[in-house]
């Protein structure tokens, strides 16, 4: 399988790896077909993503897409982060092999799941803003919870 230099770089030297103890938005998504799991941690202040970290269990492409996704949203507004699509992640990495496109979809979903969690923690129903997200898991399956 041929990967771009950017994919190889983000796999070998991933950016923003780890957890944020003071994260106010945490999202976890997984793909049952391939077994990849992504967890994204956001520190949002005044509508801006000040810090972002991730932990990914998966293949090299999953790690590379997680790393690139964090780079694309760091310092951005929530609105801009929600516009980051799997296509944008793939383009930023100079492409992915067709069998690895699902990794970029997971990265997009992880961003949305973390933002959904942030909204829930602030008493805002995320579904009208973020929509429903496939593949959520863990205690922060914000995309499937409804505010009471």
Judge whether 103 counts as a catalytic residue: yes
CA distances to 44, 91, 108, 115 from 17, rounded to whole Å, are 17, 21, 17, 18
Q: CB of 11 within 8 A of CB of 20?
A: no
How far is 112 from 8, CA to CA, in rounded Å?
A: 25
Q: Out of 59, 103, 136, 143, which one is annotated catalytic?
A: 103
Asked if residue 82 lies in contact with residue 111, where contact means CB atoms within 8 angstroms, the answer is yes
Residue 136 designated active-site: no
Distance CA 81, CA 78 (A): 5
Tokens 């760091």 correspond to 74
Cβ neighbour number for residue 47 with a 10 Å cutoff:
10
Pick from 68, 115, 74: which is nearest to 87 by CA? Answer: 68
Catalytic residues: 34, 103
């Amino acid at each position: 399988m041929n990967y771009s230099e950017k994919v190889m770089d983000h796999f070998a030297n991933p950016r923003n790896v780890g957890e944020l103890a003071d994260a106010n938005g945490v999202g976890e998504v997984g793909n049952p077909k391939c077994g990849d799991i992504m967890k994204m941690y956001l520190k949002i202040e005044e509508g801006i993503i000040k810090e972002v970290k991730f932990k990914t269990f998966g293949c090299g492409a999953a790690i590379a897409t997680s790393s690139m996704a964090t780079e694309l949203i760091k310092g951005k507004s929530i609105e801009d982060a929600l516009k980051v699509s799997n296509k944008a992640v793939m383009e930023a990495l100079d492409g992915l092999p067709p069998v690895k496109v699902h990794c970029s979809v997971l990265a997009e979903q992880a961003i949305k799941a973390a933002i959904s969690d942030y909204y829930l923690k602030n008493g805002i129903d995320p579904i009208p803003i973020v929509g429903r997200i496939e593949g959520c898991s863990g205690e922060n399956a914000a995309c499937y919870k409804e505010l009471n």
